[in-house]
Structure 1
Amino acid sequence: MRILLNECLIDKVKELATLDNGFKFKEDKALYLLNLILCGTNDDDEFEETGWVSLCSNILREIVSKDHNKYLDLFVKHTIISKINYCKQCNKCNQFYLIPHWIDDSKLIEYEITDWNLKKKQKSRIMPSAVKRYKCLWKWFDSDDLTLDVDSALQEIENLHFNQRKVLAIKNGISNFINGNKWFIRHNGDKRLHTNLTNMKSEVRKHLKFKGEPLVNIDINSSQIFFLLVLLDKINKNKTKDITEDIHIISALPPESLDQSEFQRFKKLVLTGTFYEVLGNKLISDLGNCGIYEKCKYNHKTNKANYTLYDKPKSLMKPVAFEVIFSKNNQYTKEKSWFKKEFPTIYSIIEKIKEKKYQKLALLLQNIEATAILDKCIKSINRFDNNIPLFTIHDSIMTTAEYVDIVKNIMEKEIFNYTGFTPSISIEVYQNISLSNVA
């Protein structure tokens, strides 16, 4: 098992290994732990924005050792990382940040992990229950025919001028993939399938090939808004048991809690694919200035407000919608207040679902998405033709060009059968290939 780290960081750990640290210090465990902090975790938006990564003690104990806190305290003492302790009120695990001095992607070394326990735990990231449940996906994911054009991927990353922290995380992801350090995990919480591909940046993913053929991504547009519509529709029809087992969470939401004209407006915007554009335009018109909108985002770690200017409605409305769905009820913004005025009963339902645990709505939507994609679409496509290569990225499915029309049609059919709505689907062609047969 190999990991990528800055040469001076590896040298620093070797230096620490010569000291009396008060516990049995192992270089492999120290570097593996620092690599976790450097690269973040799957789908961690906060890490993407700030470089801070949440790592819970139970996970660290499982992956590294019971001495993980001793390593972390030592790293803090030697100014390798910063740490924010667990916050019960915020429901946040311990958070860590690798000091920028130790990040330089021009001086990378591929370090070989030889510790037997760490290598064994790496293998455990392939979850047998996930492989059994989704063997029709595992056979393609585990195939040697799935390759990555590393040179072209690295060239693209270089051209995009990402910061060094992001570049190093991306390069580690590439290293994991090409060296066979795979993971294939289905979480009990979100029910999603997490793999190297779901953690891979789209800028890298576009350089994947299967048997030398470029892959094409078939994606549900505005998927979280679409699945929110599905949830609201089931509440409206008092049929939530059709899509979720968490009945108790929304049992206090009778159909009459949803205003019908408001719901129909929301439904039309989502199904016509105009939700972001129309509402973004209205938000700019209502609260913007001369076609420009200034949005504030408060960083609770630095206690600083960051301001972003928007002139494109869709670019503005997408983060606003995510703020409404995913943020805590007590984190007030003028955009959330505006949305509440536009859709008061829908906003009330959203708040009710997030009342005790703000992540609950996100998990509900991810559960619905996972069932739709993994248990409905993928299994139906495999029954139709088990020779179609399939790879999932949560709300989208990748395949080769010759199968795009089949996959797209089955996705539309299965999602309609499951939800009662036909989603808007887009096709992302990563490389210069013909899709003349796609409807």
Structure 2
Amino acid sequence: MRLYIPENLDIDQIVYDYPPNFKKYKHKRDKLLYVIHLINALTLYNKDLMYDDFVSISAKILQDKISNYKEYLNYLINVAKIIETDNQYFVGSKSKGFRLTEKYRCEVAIHSISDQTFHRKLKVERNNRAVSVKHLNYLTKWFDEKLEIDIDYVNKFLAEEYALKKDNKSLWQSKKVNNYGKVEVKYKRPIDQLNHAKISAEKISRKDYYLLHDDNVYRFHSNLTNMRSVIRNAVTYDGQKLISIDIKNSQPYLSTILLSRSFWIEQKNEPNAPNELSITFDEPKKSSFSSFNNINKNNYKGDGRIDERMSISHIKVHDTDSYIMLGDIDKTLMNNEFSQYINLAVSGTLYEFLEQQFSLRLGETFSNRKEVKTAVFQVLFTDNRFLGQEDAKPKKIFKEMFPNVYEVFRQIKSKDKSLLPRLLQSIESYLMINVIAKRIAIEYPDAPIYTIHDSISTTEEYVDVVEAIMTEELTKAIGHTPKLEPEVWCKSNMVKHLETLKEKAKVVA
């Protein structure tokens, strides 16, 4: 277990100058460093945290590792002045946030844990992750010695990128966030991006793999899923380039299944029935079915292979979800409006169409595709009540153009705004992991495969067969042929990224 701390932090000198006087300390310097480490490390599992000035750290995470964590926090904040807090805590929704003080916002260095008792405590979490992916050996087995990253090239790239970005805020990655009806722009600080990428690359270089199958939307998380996409270009398998096959406009594409008459969310009225949202697939129709949750635990053979006699027709989004009835929507909804939305989503041109409509009706232009995607995600995934806000203009325009499509999505989110994205991600996870990747593993056992949520990466030798299986299985499940986009991971993409930054810097200057 390694910790990542600011390279200019001399914890021994600080402890010497300001001796901790609380009970149970006894030179537990590793625990002090662990708290500091979390501020950098948590972004490895959710890179969007880099948009926040303060990284929220739950009390449970700290309590599990350090029983008297409050005393450590107090020392680091008020005595050593290494970290600071926003002191904002809301029960059930937000933990207190922490960040390094300005002096220590610099490149990280690696610290090895010397306290073996504390090291064993940290290993418990790793063992729990290993249990979560035990049934996914056909995915995890490719995280081996042959997966490599050119770390020297990455570090050189990061140094050049940081030099371009650090004093030029126009180059910083940003996104618009709606905060209680007020839209604000948030940025990723270049030093945070550098450290995130440096740690990600270092872990792959050391074969220190983070593998987890979550129990929320059943996604498979790995070192690759949360790595900055530009850094993946330095990753190879057995010396071969990897090629990613992405579903274009994946969330809108998957959402078309909710507009099909043969695929409805149904309400079950049986007494004492478990609360679950169930989604019925067209194919197959002959098997007895279990929930997505149960098949992960119960329907694998001893050698890790799925029992092909069991199929899934129900995806359980969450135990506490309420039932939703969409069956009362008028059957005439399968009309030109539905067809137009489906055609745009399936062809992969929905973002371009909506960008044109938003620009036409709002008189605004989008600087890049990410801004368009953010606007579309606002339409699909924000709370229904957001429609009344001034900044909800894209959402209102979508409702005007696709009123019945909007109504389907509105009903799904009527009790919980997170339900639609979780529902789509659960469908995505099932199809990519349990159907497509599993079939590839059975038919082409020598094909290296890496799932990154809505995409699968493999070597050039297997690109055609992976793409064919993805097309066939997605078409069968969703009812429409997807638009797939292959992208080669290669260092020339990193060169282009730097060239683009240099051009933008010239324009600003």
TM-score after normalising by structure 1: 0.84
Deviation at 1:415? 1.7
Partner Cα separation in structure 1 for residue 477 and residue 46 of structure 2: 29
* Equivalent position of 1:286 in the other structure: 361
Deviation by residue 1:164-197 (Cα, 9 ceiling, x = unmatched): 1221122122222223332211110020011111
Deviation at 1:235? 8.0
Query: 1:194 is aligned with what amino acid?
Result: H
User: In the alignment, which of 240, 256, 267 is matched to residue 329 of structure 2?
Assistant: 256
Aligned: 1:366 with 2:425: yes
* Equivalent position of 1:185 in the other structure: 212
* Equivalent position of 2:378 in the other structure: 323
Partner Cα separation in structure 2 for residue 264 and residue 232 of structure 1: 9
Measured on the aligned residues, the alpha-carbon RMSD in Å equals 2.8
Q: Is contact 1:213-1:400 (8 Å) kept?
A: yes
Q: Is contact 1:329-1:358 (8 Å) kept?
A: yes
* Equivalent position of 2:200 in the other structure: 173
Moved more, 402-411 or 240-249: 240-249
User: In the alignment, which of 348, 354, 372 is matched to residue 273 of structure 1?
Assistant: 348
Query: 2:315 is aligned with what amino acid?
Result: T
Return 5+ residue gaps in structure 2 as ranges.
166-189, 267-278, 282-313, 493-509
Deviation by residue 1:142-173 (Cα, 9 ceiling, x = unmatched): x1111111012222223333511221122122
Partner Cα separation in structure 1 for residue 488 and residue 465 of structure 2: 16
Query: Which secondary structure state, in structure 2, belongs to the residue aligned with residue 408 of structure 1?
Result: helix
Deviation at 1:390? 1.1
Deviation by residue 1:221-274 (Cα, 9 ceiling, x = unmatched): 111222222234368655723352349645322251683333222111101111
Q: Is contact 2:146-2:237 (8 Å) kept?
A: yes
Deviation at 1:375? 0.3
Aligned: 1:380 with 2:439: yes
Partner Cα separation in structure 2 for residue 71 and residue 118 of structure 1: 15
The structure number with the bigger radius of gyration is 2
Partner Cα separation in structure 1 for residue 249 and residue 466 of structure 2: 19
Q: Is contact 2:347-2:482 (8 Å) kept?
A: no
Q: Is contact 2:244-2:458 (8 Å) kept?
A: yes
* Equivalent position of 1:129 in the other structure: 131
Query: Which secondary structure state, in structure 2, belongs to the residue aligned with residue 197 of structure 1?
Result: coil
Partner Cα separation in structure 2 for residue 432 and residue 38 of structure 1: 26
Aligned pairs, how many? 408
Partner Cα separation in structure 1 for residue 454 and residue 52 of structure 2: 25
Deviation by residue 1:116-162 (Cα, 9 ceiling, x = unmatched): 35533346435333332110111111x11111110122222233335
Aligned: 1:219 with 2:292: no
* Equivalent position of 2:315 in the other structure: 244
Deviation at 1:85? 3.0
Q: Taking every aligned residue pair, what percent have the same amino acid on both sides?
A: 27
Partner Cα separation in structure 2 for residue 53 and residue 172 of structure 1: 17
Moved more, 15-24 or 49-58: 15-24
Deviation at 1:346? 2.8
Query: Which secondary structure state, in structure 1, belongs to the residue aligned with residue 209 of structure 2?
Result: coil
TM-score after normalising by structure 2: 0.73
Q: Is contact 1:13-1:30 (8 Å) kept?
A: no
Partner Cα separation in structure 2 for residue 47 and residue 432 of structure 1: 26
CA gap of 1:70–1:378, structure 2 versus 1, over 3 A, is same
* Equivalent position of 1:36 in the other structure: 38
Moved more, 387-396 or 155-164: 155-164
Query: 2:381 is aligned with what amino acid?
Result: F
Partner Cα separation in structure 2 for residue 385 and residue 36 of structure 1: 40
Partner Cα separation in structure 2 for residue 389 and residue 80 of structure 1: 42
Q: Is contact 1:130-1:185 (8 Å) kept?
A: yes
Partner Cα separation in structure 2 for residue 51 and residue 212 of structure 1: 39
Q: How does 1:406-421 map to 2 (within 5 A)?
A: 406-421=465-480
Q: Is contact 1:4-1:171 (8 Å) kept?
A: no
